[in-house]
Structure 1
Amino acid sequence: MNQSLKEALTICDEIEELLANAMPAPDTQKLDRIRFLAGQLGGHDSYITDQANKLRSRAAIYFSARRHQSQQGGADGLMREMRYSLLNAIRNQVSALQAGMD
């Protein structure tokens, strides 16, 4: 597997670990780390960059004092979107890019 694609999967795993025990409350340390990691995902292709940017914006809402409460599905909906929709979309795109290289 291409090294940068392998790193993308490792980044997804780290983001998922950060989200696994996260609470919907201000946590600048986790938010900053997720923002940094999501920024590292950019550049593989436009779809991954788009999904990573969505992840960054959703994390900012999740780790706010109250903004997560006004989202459809609330904090739980945001967490499902980040962990399952966005991270899985990134992983699937990485797999598709890898398959195209083989």
Structure 2
Amino acid sequence: MHSWNGILSTCDEIEELLRTAAPGADTQKLREVRTLALRMSGRDSYITDQANKLASRAAIYFSERRHQAEQGGAEGVMREMRYSLLRAIRDQAKLREQGTT
């Protein structure tokens, strides 16, 4: 299990991967995002849920064409991953960290 700071650091790693990502088939980036998302799972059910959603959305973004059928297209999927899901995970980790100090 990761510390709350470790979860925040993992979010930063995912953010960096996504920052340079392009929509389309990319099994290497998908594997990296899934591995990092899994690393955040287990300590908090909300974070686990959001990390699972992130991995699921990454599978759509890094597919050959599935992102095209999503609302907002690839840009919408990316926006959800970077600005909704990662923010939710970070906020929860910060909240939990404050509760343990």
TM-score between both structures, scaled by the size of structure 1: 0.95
SS at match of 2:3: helix
Give the CA RMSD over aligned residues: 0.8
Q: Residues 1-102 of structure 1 correspond to what in structure 2 (within 5 A)? A: 4-102=3-101
| Aligned residue type for 1:27 | D
For residues 16-57 of structure 1, the C-alpha deviation after alignment (integer angstroms, 9 at most, x for no partner) is 000001000111111000000000000121000000000000
Structure 2 distance, partners of 1:54, 1:60, is 10
Structure 1 residue 6 displacement after superposition: 1.0
| Aligned residue type for 1:71 | E
| Aligned residue type for 2:47 | I
Question: Percent identity at matched positions?
Answer: 63
Segments of structure 1 that go 5 or more residues without pairing to the other structure are none
Segments of structure 2 that go 5 or more residues without pairing to the other structure are none
Structure 1 distance, partners of 2:21, 2:73, is 14
Tell me the number of residue pairs that the alignment of Structure 1 and Structure 2 aligns.
Answer: 100
Structure 2 distance, partners of 1:84, 1:9, is 14
Structure 2 distance, partners of 1:43, 1:64, is 27
Structure 1 residue 4 displacement after superposition: 1.1
| Aligned residue type for 1:42 | S
TM-score between both structures, scaled by the size of structure 2: 0.96
Structure 2 distance, partners of 1:13, 1:91, is 9
